[in-house]
Each structure stands twice: as C-alpha cells, then as structure tokens.
Structure 1
Amino acid sequence: MMCNHRIALAVIILSCLVLFSEAYTPPDNYLVDCGSQTNTTVYNSRIFLAEESASKFFSGPQIVLAENPNPVPSSDYSQLYQTATIYNGTSCYKFPISKIGRHWIRLYFYPFRHDGYDMSKMSFTVSAQNTDLLNGFRATGEAVMKEFSLNVTSGNLIINIIPDTGSNAFLNALEVVSMPDEIIADRAKDLLAGTFTGLGGQTLEHVWRVNMGGPLVTPLNDTLNRTWIPDAPYLIQGNLAKNSSNINAVKYEPGMATSDIAPPFVYGTLQQVNMEGNHDTIVNVTWKFNVSVGFRHLVRFHFCDIVSQSVNLLYFNVYIDSLFVSSSERELQSILSKLATPYYLDAVTPVSTSHTISVKVGSASSFPTPKNAILNGLEIMKLIEVHAAPSSGSGSNVALIAGVSGGVLVGLVLPAGIGCLLYRRRRRRWRKTTKETNPELSRSWIPLSTDGGMQTTSMVSRHSNGTRTSPSPGHYFGYRFPLVIIQEATNNFDEKDVIGIGGFGKVYKGVMSDGTSVAVKRGNSRSQQGHAEFRTEIDMLSQFRHKHLVSLIGYCDEDNEMILIYEYMERGTLKSHLYGQGLPSLGWRERLEICVGAARGLHYLHTSHAKAVIHRDVKSANILLDENLMAKVADFGLSKAGPDMDQTHVSTAVKGSFGYLDPEYFRRQQLTEKSDVYSFGVVLFEVLCARPAVDPSLPREMVNLAEWAMQWQKKGQLAQIIDPALAGKINANSLRKFGETAEKCLADYGVDRPSMADVLWNLEYALQLQEAGVSSGAEENSTNMISDTSSQITTSLSHVDRILAAAQFDASSVDDGSMSQVFSQLVKSEGR
C-alpha cells in the first residue's frame, strides 16, 4: 500500500515538472509591490519590484509609502498586503508593451490605517485604456485581488489611479502580465442572439474561477499563475453531487483545450450526479455565485470525461439560470466522445438583473440510464463597457475607429489627463456649494434649477397624509424627486415597463400623477459604473432648454439611487426605426427631417454657450423621436465643455462608441466640435443604408459602415447601397447632396470637416431638393428642376450669409424655427 502511494506521488510530481516545462513565458511581466522598500518573492519565482525600482514607470503627485502595523492573514500573497502606496492625487503607471495583445491586470487591496490615513474609507477609480476597471471603488476590510484582462493595442499601457474628490487612493500590489491571446476566443454562444462575436476585444473582469470536485489550485500548478478555488461553498444540495479525481488520465489533444486554458489539476477533477438512489430520476447539480447587476457575463464551462468506462455514456444538459446553454446531443456530443480529453464551452448571458447566477448540469430526460452529468471547472467573467475602439490599422484616411480585427477590438490606451483634473475641480466646486447652501444635502446632488436657485419638490406620496401637487412637465424640470414619487410612477420599477437597457441601466416608462408620461433611467448603484455619467448628465442638461434636445425633468439620488427623469419620447430611438426592431420603415423625407432636427440640436450645443458643449457620443441610439417624429438628441453622460476662445481643442481621454469615433480625436486625444461632426457623418450613412455602424457578421470589407459607404460614395455609386425600402423614392440630387455632406463630415482631419451650421445648411438643402423633385413631378434625374432651384438659392446666398453671421442661434431663436424659415424662403417658391 505504501508503495502505491509513493508511485502516485511520483506521478503527480512528474506531471508538475512536465507542466512547468511547458509553462507560458509572458513577453510582458510587470510586478510591483506597492509601498515596499525591497523586492518581494511569492510562490518561489514571482518577483514583485520594490516601489523605488518601479518608480521609472510611475508619474503623479506626492505618494505615501505605508506599512501595515498589524499582521496580515497568512497566505502565499500575504507579503504583498504588508505594504501599500497611498496616492494623494491623479497618478499613473506607464508600462512599455513588447507584444501587442491580451494582458492581465491584477490589483491587490488590503486596507489598513497608517499615519492618519484610513484606507478603508478611500474612494477612487482605476482605469486603463478607455475603460474604468474600478469606479468609485472602496476596499472592505478583507484582502482582495481584482483581476482584469484586456486587449492592449499600443506600445504602452497606462493605468490611471484617480482619487475621488476629498479622498485618496491606495494599492498594495499591481501586475501587468501578458497572456496567450487564444485564452479568450472571439466567439461565444449568446443566450439571447445565438452567437456573440467580438469577445477578443472585450475588457473582462474575472469574477470566479472554480475547480469542481477538487481542492484549491494555486499558481504553482497553473501555467498562467491563476488560482482556482474549490466549489463546495457554492454547491446547492451537495448530496446530489459526487466528486471524482483522475488527474493522470487527462490528455490534451490538438484543436481542443490546452493546459493554458486550464491545468490538468482542474480537468482531472469533477463533480458528477450522485447516482445513488437517482438512477431513474432527472437530477440537476447546481452552483450559485454572486455577480454584478446590469452587466453581461461570459461563463466558461470546462469538461473532461474522466469517469466513463467507454465513450458516449454521458447524456446531460447545461443551464445558466433557466436558460438552456447546451446538451450532450448538441455541442457536447462530439467532444465527449473522447474520454479524458479537455474541452471548454463559452456562453454570454443577458444583462443580469439579479445579484446571483445559477449554473446547472442535469440529466437529459430523452436518453436511457445512467442519467449522469459532469462539470470539471467554471469561470465567470464580467463584460466591462468600452467606450472607444482603435482603427484596424489599414492606413485608410477614412477608416472609422471601429475596432474590428476578427471581431471588435478595444481602444488604445489614453491617459485621463486634463479631463480628470477638470472633472475633479467641478466636483469640488459642487460639494462646496452643496454644503454651504444645504448641509442636509452635502452627500447628495444639488437640486437642479432653471433659474440658478435651489429647488426641492413639494410633491409627496399619494399614500402619505400630505397633499400632492401636479405641475406640468415644464414645472417638473429642476426638481429633486423623492424616490417614492418615482416608484409610484413606475409601479415600483415594474419590469413590464422597461423600454430600454443601456450601459447605465434600465429605462422605464413612468406616468406621473397628472398623467404625464416620463422616461425614467435608473442606474445600477452596485455596478461601480455610471457615477460620472450621472453627474455629467445633470450638470449638462440643467444648462440646456431646446426643442431638439431631450429635456431632463428631474433626478433622484435618494438611498444611493442614480435616477434621471426625462420627457417621454413616444417613438423611441432613430436606430430602432432603421434596423432590427421590426418597426415601419421611415420615408426619405422623414429621415431628412430627423437628420435636420438632430443637426439643429448639435448646432445649439456647439454655439449657444461661451464654451461649446461637445456631445462625444453622437449615434442613432442617442437620437430620440417624439410622437411627430421630431428628433431630439439625448444621453449627455459623456459630454464635455469645449475649448476656451484662445484654444483649439480640449486634451482628454478618448470616449465614444464603437463605429462613431473621430480618428483625429483618437490619434491625438484632442477633442473639438468636429469630433461630433464626424460621428454625425456616420449617422447620416446609417440613415441612408439602414444598417449598424459596425456589423462584425458581414464580410470584412463591409464591417465598417463608414469605410464601406465612403468607397461607394467616392465611386459615385452611393445609390447601390441605400436601404432597399428607399429604392426609387430619393431624388437623385437630394441623394447627391446628402452623400457629399456625409463625406465631408467624415474627413480624416477636423479642419477639413464642416461646422454643424454648414451640415445643417446642406441637409436643409437636400430636404428642399427632395421636396422640389416630388412637388414638380419631375424624373429623379431631372436637371432642369435642380438648375432652377439652384439659381434661386444662389441669388439669396449673400443675404443668408448676413443672416447666419448675425444669428446667435440661442434656444429661443432656434425653437422658433428660424433656420427652417431661412431655408424655406430660399427654396420654396411661395416663400420668395
């Protein structure tokens, strides 16, 4: 018996040696023990640099090196938690990247007190590339490691550490390590839409990594220094499961999972159905894990049949919550036909509405006994929203920053820079004003006001003893709403009233006590995202009132809620009317009028204040339509004040949406109004072609709408790619003018793009050309009609130039339709 144990031990040791001989060597391997004055070695081989040695990567204001006065709970990483660096201002680490591709970022936190600093009360943001990895993060009293993977696409990776106003930030340790790109495949099963593409470009937070049926797997037994925790604490009804182990049986085969996907210590253990007493019944083995509400998650299942005596004996199904993922008669049939061969299956969940997720493997009822099911390992990764993406690198001057290379890539790394400083100053001013005017509100938002004063709502619950006012929608604006009012308006956020879901959260249709319909956007308070957008939306929309901008009626920050209340837009988004929603198609005149309305809203933003306001997220999903199809620009969470009079741009980190991002802004991190013009140019082609700005399912040359449409525009064949619903209905000259306008908007350099005033002019011109062609009954390619109209316009140009030069385009002037009147007088015969 003793001999057998020795043989088994020798086999395990031998397997470990083989494992290490094949271990992945990361091209980039930056390990920093923050606050430490000496290098720290963990797991016998991983050397974390002392703070001074890592200083060549660091830039920022004063830091404090802190040492924990108390003993740290024993673990292999406990040495890393013994010290910390405290950051007194916005700081960054800049790491040179030798190999472009996917990297891990691991952040270590263990708060303690040091010289008057209480780390447990610090609140801060950590970002990399275009993504907030942690937003408003506050560490608890336990040691925690936050792990992320992202696709680095430049020669440097910058990690920004941004303390919240009035706070500091801290880190115990930091890792930036290359990982094999194949670890994250580009495609996965989408539980909503069949196939999810673009995973290779997603930023992921690794939330759970679990070894089913086996013990803790440490970095010593993983080629990529990962830790796999045992599944027992998360197993529901453990009596239904039975663990098994046969590590030596695992054999990796080409085209299947590799030891980098998961080590044999994971594939060699499993949980299976406890067959005792369950031979003739259907049994589900279930695990439950905590997740973040408001996010999609990538769930990876690891399978390896180490229990069957022969092939094709396992017939079972796989579920996430109540959603079917796969079965042994579908995806799993071929892979389970090979014994002891590792395989994994990826599935992307819908946006989570619960704080927990259940994973199940269960017997398939349609197959004979024995009804067994297995699961060897599980990983859960949160998909983090990315606001920008890089060019595909083709060198094309009109290449939209679509981020597509076998999928959608994430954006290049860009520092927070001036944008962070401006944001912090604005927030500091806000807090000072709040405390001086109303101490009770010192921890919440300033009530909005249309006249610069402070307001609070007098409305109370209909269930209270007080009375309740019913002001008009205009009077609602500026109120800080009690939560009970919003709960009543939305039937306590009834899921039946959800009219949209975005990165910030869900949008509900609500009805106020007087029957006024409103749109209620409720942020995910626990998602650690959206706080900055919430603040910016209030800050920006409290300054605007314009018929082509969606009005903010009020907000609520009670009980840590982030709720914004807007006027309700009956017809939804422009995007939903163009593709994918099954709504009636819009006519060309309707589309032109919508584009004109949106252009007016953007022109107002760019010109109505001392500083231009740059929207920074112009897209068809952010153009809403009322019951009369009048367009209103919405969603100002990314908006930013433009440059001063003596400046040409604002230097700031790149944010935007896939497919719409200005390439010059992306290259130089210099934001101007022309960045909105570029995005609007993409919207124009979206309107014309009725397809998304980025569609990875199309052939490569068609993925990027801007690139593809510009190729046809430059060939003079734009009519070949228009929405089939518009075929034969667009005046040729209207289409020509529209195409020219979109082309100018998409110029690679901002100086070559028109202003929004010019865009508005040209769209009005295209609209009038369409109306003139329809009213005259002329053929689509009639030149007589166009020549006559053009002469009318030419004779009035000098007059209009004087009007445009004198006009300030404030809210009242545009609301009165002055621009429409100008163009109508130019083109319509009755207006002459």
Structure 2
Amino acid sequence: MKSISKSLFFALCYCTFTFHVPAENSPESPPVPYHISCGDKEITDSDGRQWIPDGEFLASSDSGDDTEVATAQYPDPLLPSAVPYMNARIFRSSSTTYKFQVYSKSRLWLRLYFYPATYGKHDPSGAYFSVSANGITLLNNFSAAVTAKAFTQAYLLREFSLMPVVSGHLNLKITPCKESYGFINGIEVIPMPDIFQKPVAIVGYREETLDLRGSTLQTMFRLNVGGQFIAPHEDSGLTRTWYDDLPYLSGDSIGATSLAKKDVNIRYTAEVTEDIAPLIVYSTARTMGPYSKVNLKHNLTWIFQVDADFTYVVRLHFCEFQLSRIGERVFDIFLNNQTARRGADVIAWSGSMGTPIYKDFALYVSGVPGVGEIWVALHPTISKTHKSNRYDSILNGLEVFKVNDTNENLAGRNPLPSKMLIDAEEAQKQLQTSESTVEEMVAGGVASCAVVLAVVVFVRKKNASKTVNLLPIDGTGSSNRDRSGGSGHRMSIAAGLCRHFSLSEIKSGTKNFSQSKVIGVGGFGKVYKGTIDGGTKVAIKRSNPSSEQGFHEFQNEIEMLSKLRHRHLVSLIGYCEEAGEMILVYDFMANGTLREHLYKTDNPPLSWKQRLEICIGAASGLHYLHTGATYPIIHRDVKTTNILVDEKWVAKVSDFGLSKCGSNLTQTHYSTMVKGSFGYLDPEYFRRQQLTVKSDVYSFGVVLFEVLCGRPALDSDLPKEQISLADYVLRCQRKGALRRIIDPHLKGEINPECFRVFTDVAAKCISDNGIDRPSMGDVLWYLEFCLQLQESPGGDDEAEDMAKDAYDTATLSIEEEIADDEVYSPRLTPVFSMIADPRGR
C-alpha cells in the first residue's frame, strides 16, 4: 500500500466492488457448459470433453469475409493436446463478437485458449488484439507470441471468473489492433460455484475487508503446494488445472514435501467442499522440515510475477495431517513484507486433523509500469506466549486472483523477455549469420551433395518399406491420427525412422493387454511383455489416460529414440497411435530394471563386478547423450528404474519422455519447469530451474550410491537423517563411516582402492553446485578405472592404462555413431584434478 493512501484505496474498492443483484424474472438458462473449438469441426478431446464449432456463435453481422479458419503449420511438442490448439479463428480487421445464450445466477468461468503459431500466411508476431466480455476489458493490445516467448511457454490459457449473467447473453468481443490481426483457438464458458462469497481481509488494514461479489477476477496462479500437477479431469469435475509449486519457490530453503498417510481421513466440511479444491490438494503439503533451529533462520517463500497497479486476492489452502494438537505448529504469514496473519494455527482454525481450511487475503501491488511481484512468506511464530519444540509452517495449496480496477479492466501489459532470453537470441542470430556466410562459400558444392543425399534417401526408403507401415494421409496431406489430430512435420520425420504398429497387432501380441503380461508400471502407464512378427519378444509400454505424462512425452520419446542409436540406449522398435491409444514398442530387456536387482527383491544379489559393469554401461549411454549428438541431450530422469538390463547383463538407459535437446539454443542451460523424480533431482536445478547436463550427473551420482548401498534414494521408513540417500552418504563420508552403510552382500568383496575411487567419484557427482561436478565422460573414465582396480593385480599404473584403453574404446564407438562428421575430442575436466592422478593423493 506504499503507493496509495488509505482513503484512495477504499475509494477504489467502493467503485470496483459494487454487488450486482440478478433480476427476479429472468428466462431459464440454455444448456451450458460451452466448449468451443474455434475454426474446427465437432471433436472430442483426450479428457472426453465434446468441443463444438464456433460458427453459430458469431454475431450475424460479423460472420462475413472478415474472419477465416486456419490450421497451425505444426504442433509444438509442449502442447498438451491437439484440441483446441491446432485450429484457430483469425480476425482480420474490425471487431468480431461471439454471442452465447446464457442466463446464470452464479458466476461463470471463461477460459480463452491461444497457441501463437503460423497460420497460413499469418505470422504469430503480427497478432495484437483486445478481448472484452460484457463490457469488461480482459486483454488489451495483447500479443500471445510475445507473452508465450517471455514465459517460455508454447501455449496460453487465460481463465476469468465472470459475474452472474442476467441479461441472457454473454458477449465476447475480439478487436484486432490497427494494421494487425487477432486469433483465438478455444473458448470455454462453464458454470462455476460461488467461491468468493466471504469478505476478504485487506493486508495492512486491520479489520477492513473487501467484498468480491461484484467483481470480475482473473486466475493468475493455482498451485498444488508440495504435490504434483493435477490435470483438469482430476479436479472433482470442475476442470481446474493445478500446477506444481516448485518453480515459484525462492531462496535456499525449499522445505520438505509430505503426503498424508492412508490412515488419516481427510474430509470436506460445510465450509470447504470440492468447489474450493480437490481432496488431493489437501493430501499433500510443503513444510519447512524437521530442524527447528534451521527453520528459525529462514522463511518458506514463493514469488509470483504479476501486473502492477492491481488488487490481488491470495488464497492459501491448509490441512494439517501430521499433528493433532493446537499449538504444535504455529507460524506467521507475510505478503510483500507485510504481516497478513500472526500466530496461524491450522488445527485451531479447522478444529481437527484432516480437516481442510482456507484463508483469503487482499493486497494492492504497485511497481514500475506493468511489472509487479507478490511474495508469500511463512515463518515460525516466535513470541513469549508461544513456546514450542517444533518451529515450522505448512501450506497445501495456493491461488492468486487479479481483481478488475475502477475502469472495468483486467488487462495488463505484454511482458518483457528476460535478459537471459535476449542474450540467447542475440547469440543465435550471430550463429545464423556465420552459418549463412559459410553456406554462401560452399554453395557451388550443394548440387552434387543433393544428388548423393537423394540416393541415400532412396535406398533408406526402399529398405524401410519392407518393415515400416506409413501413417494414413488424407487428401489435405495431414495425418488422420486420432490422438493428436495430426502432430506435424517433427513427428512425421521421426515416424519414418521407426515402425508404426496397428492396434490389432499390439492387442494380438499382448493377448488384448492381459494382466498376466504386465511386467512393470511407471509414470507413463503399464509395460507388457509381448511378441511381434511371429515370436520376437518386445516390451510394450501403454499410456495410462490419467497419467501426467501425455502426448508431449510420447512424441518426445519417439523423436529422441528414433534418431539415437547406441549400445547402451534402449532401442525403440516402433509405436502405435490409434483409437486414442499411445503405445511404444521396445527391445525386450530380459533382466528388467537395475533396481529389481538391488533391494526389495527375490532376485539373487549382484556381484560388485556386475554392478560396476552395469554402471559403466549406463554412464556410457549418458555420455553419448551429452556429447555424441550434434547438440547435448539431457535425460532429466536418470534413476535405477530407467536403467534396464538385457539377458547378457548389458545396461541400457531408457525412458526419454522428459528429455531435453538443445537443438535451437546456444546457452549451456535451459530454463524450464522442474521435472524428474524426487531423491534424484539436482538441488541447483530445484533452486534456479536451470537444467544442465550436470543435472544428469547429479542423478547418476545418486544411482552410484544406490548401487553401493543397496537401498532406495528416498526411504521415509528410516530415521530422519537417513531418509535422503544423497544427504546420508555425504554425512557418512565426512565421518569416514561410508563402509558401514554399504550393501551387506558386498562386505569384503570390494578392493579398498576401488572403493576409494568409486566413492570419491560418486560424491563429486552429488556436489551441491553443478560446476563442482565432473562431466559424464570423467565419470565413465573413473568407473572404468574402478573396474580395473578391482580386477588388476598390477597396481594403479596398470589399472590406469587399462581404464584409458577401455575409455578410448567407448568414446571411439561414440565417434562412429555420430551422424555428422564433427570433430569429437573428449577430455577430463578440471574438477577432477584432485583425483586425476591417483598416486598424487
């Protein structure tokens, strides 16, 4: 409230938040909800929602030649689905209005979908337009391309909470800016429960409240704190999307995540129903962790970028499922360094364990034009009246809503791209300029190269035609696949490099997905043991429709593995995309996952030599990903369940659904939403959301200790100090007690010098900062060295020579498998100077 006086603030509130009373004798409402696919035909999406064309909703005066229907040239891999993003309605000049017949005594959700892509001759950078609903300005001079670029997103979804519509019509007006055009891909009009009935406390103004019943609001953020992404179909039928809170956490302390135990009964109340949030939100939480002394020195903080000069409502969701007594966990809540609530006690508010509660707070955000921030911070309460053995805080969910201003406006400015993004673009332009110069120099040789390339392509196609079933193509040249609606040129290139199976082939090979054929279950879905071509054994991975991993991961896996070939990467044979199914077919790995041979298994224990050889194979596969391709590929989900072993105990890295390739970037890291598996996640990636090849190195370091200790990366059944394997082994190493925690099956089997080098390497891998970690090439070299130390009777010198030979052989195979003729020169990196000469230690 620094920028406005108290009297002015309440003047604004009075003007903005007048309550509109519905007319008593209004007509009955036509059927809702509406799911409108703009410029498309009637179609059903992957969640079962029926989308209808938008033509009948265009006002009669606007349905002439001033709009057109267009299809995006290709889908971005990050699109969650083809519907409603791949088709658009283009608005060329004058304003166009959609008219929806609707009478509602309750609020409505209005959702607008935008995919800034090339539509025919329309470049996405040329679209600037405004959107209003019944006179409320929602977007102004809006550029979906600029906004998506600044936020590094492929698509945009804008959700608004509209006041009750008593006139019988909802008019949605789209107005292109001068010499520009507008577009929209999808529109949803959905009845929503009135979740803004209670007055909202105003931060900084004691006992003053804000009435939201006459306001239009925009959903800015909706987070499942401490939990995972919640898809629309998982939200109690209300189709809200809840995101992971990790990208918004700030500072060194990210706290600890918790999941309610099965014996805790989390239940709704009269005040908190499924309209407020799904139970899954209240079943997970983020706390500060078990160490009270540490907690007192930090806040648990989330930061959100918002538009300045607006009032915002911050809704905090709480549910205590760990403690049962008042006073056990008491904390303070701060918004933008102002005290929102002192002595927050969830049990005191809710009355018992497992009972959800939420609290709303309003604040005005000022800042430089267009740019503002909201800081939400929790800190344990410290007072004379409150003394506790537990200094901690808890949060289960968080939502941020923008409130319309006095001008009936919700529109903010288009965001500016970050400096990092600008620098990356400049570097890319310089690279393209230099490449253009080279192209001009070699232009004379292009024709002859093209002849050679044509011959190679012809031969490949001729050979491929014996086994590859091409996707059906309709008269327009677009794919007819059910799931994607045509996934574009990227996937079609990959499709030509691997086999397309029909669904009947898959069902025949798995006995119609018989449960007896299931050999594993993962985040993508179930894995079946199957047969093809009269008896060839394969592994068939079938997508679970309710899985978080969707079309993007499916397409990513095909694109990655169809272009990568290496002895230590699992081979993709083909895929099936038919009747809504997403299925991948791999080489069958007879011995399953590495984890199945380490703990909680009936399989005989692996010898130390077997474990080393498996680690060497996996390291070789990752080393190839990082250095063997034209651009580095980051796996992003390295763990023991993603390292498979064939019948000859050869290790192969699998599951590339989350992998990231730097094919269009020049920087050494990628700013991206945090994804991966807890226990293996790089802490630097957590803090900065910047993914590097060193993130894979950290995860592989955890794998190395998992192999050594024969226990999971996370084990909540152990004492607190032992739950995280990475933290525990580093603590034991500092105390010189690592030998005490190795797998009992390995006691007395490991050569002492081999043990020392192995643990040094593994510890370096899980260094807190990426710059302190070795490259995967370094790791591979030292694992080869460990194997020679274990087997060689000739001492360190002979072992080092043998390790060098093994490393050279591995890197030579990488050179041979590179598609380009680029020079490849592996070197040990400086971080390993301490152990590069084992005789110098």
TM-score, with length taken from structure 1: 0.49
TM-score, with length taken from structure 2: 0.49
